[in-house]
Structure 1
Amino acid sequence: MSNASTPLKDRLRTDLTAAIRGRDKVRSGTIRMVLSAISAAEVAGTEAVSLSEPQVLDVVIREAKKRREAEEAFLAAGRSELADKERAEAAVLADYLPQALSAAEVTAIVQAAIEQTGAAALGLKAMGTVMGVVTPQTKGKADGGSVAAEVRRQLAG
């Protein structure tokens, strides 16, 4: 694995070369897919741009989420061999994502955001305000659905 301070896109390219040399089909295929998604995002607008580091991370997060959703869908359909493939790809992508937050850390971040915004008195009406503060802190580090559920739980309580 490359140094974490290296730009993510360069790290992906270096790791792709290593995976190809090591004949790691799952890793090389997954990294190729992510690099392809990054390239597609770079040329998606009216003119080609080079993605910033946070934008590249957003693409990796989006691809990891697709893998998780596909794995769940395949498991629900009884296609365990396809679910295993998606799980293996998600594991490769996990190497490029920030360290995940624990449930206790998410709870603490939500609590601090509620105190900071004074949303406790407003209840669930203030959910958007609290999510606006919490999302930048948890992006890529915690599932958005579970973060929203925690905000809902604390605002309702």
Structure 2
Amino acid sequence: MDMRARVNTALKQAMKDKAADRLSTLRLINAAIKDRDIAVRGSGDEEAACCGDAEVLAILGKMTKQRQESARAYEEGGRLDLAERERQEISVIEEFLPKQLDEDEVESAVRAAITATGAGSIRDMGKVMGELKARYTGQMDFGKVGPMVKDQLCAAGNC
């Protein structure tokens, strides 16, 4: 079952269960996916009329990151009730994301991507990141992976 169908199935179930908070988060996910569809459709590329699973995963990852930042801001502002609401939305969104890789798995994925791309210097960092994004979208935090890639490329002595 593709991501869009999984979200729609969960949305229908939330309606049946009368789970208002879950339902509102699922509607936000659906709206973000439809917004992306409209943006792609406006670009004139008829083959990409709707976004695929990889794009949906990217949307979900972005939504999670936005809510984490919001929760942090609410905590700093003393609004713990709003921070908790953001965390509840994160938990609903994360149900649709694949399992996050642990640190060892991320390191081995970075090494494999460096080998696969034949990266030899820091100039090849974009190739390595592109390879990782193609294979592991939604499974790792690329903000944390970037410095790891840089460290491993610099460890080869080509910085």
Could you tell me the percent identity over the aligned residues?
Answer: 32
Deviation, structure 1 residue 15: 1.1
Q: Among residues 29, 32, 38, which one is paired with 1:37 in the alignment? A: 32
List aligned pairs for 1:1-157, cutoff 5 A. Answer: 6-44=1-39, 45-46=41-42, 49-120=49-120, 122=121, 124-157=122-155
- CA deviations 1:77-131 (Å, max 9, x no partner) are 33221111111000001110111111101100111222334434x2x33322322
User: Deviation string for 1:9-51 (max 9, x for gaps)?
Assistant: 1221121121122121221110011111111221224268332
Q: TM-score, normalised by structure 2?
A: 0.83
Q: Once the 2 structures are TM-superposed, how far is the Cα of residue 55 of structure 1 from its aligned partner?
A: 2.4
What RMSD over aligned residues (CA atoms) do the two structures have, in Å? 2.0
Alpha-carbon distance change, 107 to 23 in structure 1, aligned in 2, over 3 angstroms:
same
Q: Which runs of 4+ in 1 moved over 4 A?
A: none
Measure the CA separation in 1 of the matches of 2:76 and 2:64. Answer: 19
TM-score (normalizing by structure 1): 0.84
Which moves more between the two structures, 102-111 or 7-16? 7-16
Unmatched segments (≥5 aa) in structure 1: 1-5
| Count of aligned pairs between the two proteins | 150
Q: Please give the alpha-carbon distance, in whole angstroms, between the structure 2 residues aligned to 1:134 and 1:51.
A: 20
Unaligned 5+ segments in structure 2 are none
Verify the 8 A CA contact 2:57 2:137 in the aligned structure 1. no
